[in-house]
Structure 1
């Protein structure tokens, strides 16, 4: 199990597809510094935020609050990219579209 700091490298393993539920769960776990679905964000004793996506997964190390905020922005930029829409609003939009089918 490695500890990574490269957002995109970690995201390639953590969210292998553009599953709306996975993107939303990851965002919520990191933003709330909690567990959400398969994602877990915990503060280490040294104050760094560590994020994992399951048993035996690589950890993402967010050394500062600025790194955390940058990672949250990267999630939005990589998966949402719909005119600055928040991840939460994007998730609700997709849920609504799915229920219309």
Structure 2
């Protein structure tokens, strides 16, 4: 991974890459993917499980349209933190225990 930058800088770079996408499988494409994942991760808001949990706010605030465009770009370019599981892994307890 390249050096991590401030989230605001990463967002600026991502917007530049979105305006002029890099060629796939180049160092610039890899940097785009890293910055894209950083921006998406920084924009996640975790809801507290109960009233005693602290409220986690996003480090970056993205409107719904921009977030959807960034998620789409990430999936299109295969920059997915979950690999082949675009929607995440989900619960795995008991999964794959069949002997069939």
TM over 0.5: no
Larger radius of gyration: 2
Q: Could you say which structure has the higher helix fraction?
A: 1
TM-score norm. by structure 2 comes to: 0.32
TM-score norm. by structure 1 comes to: 0.31
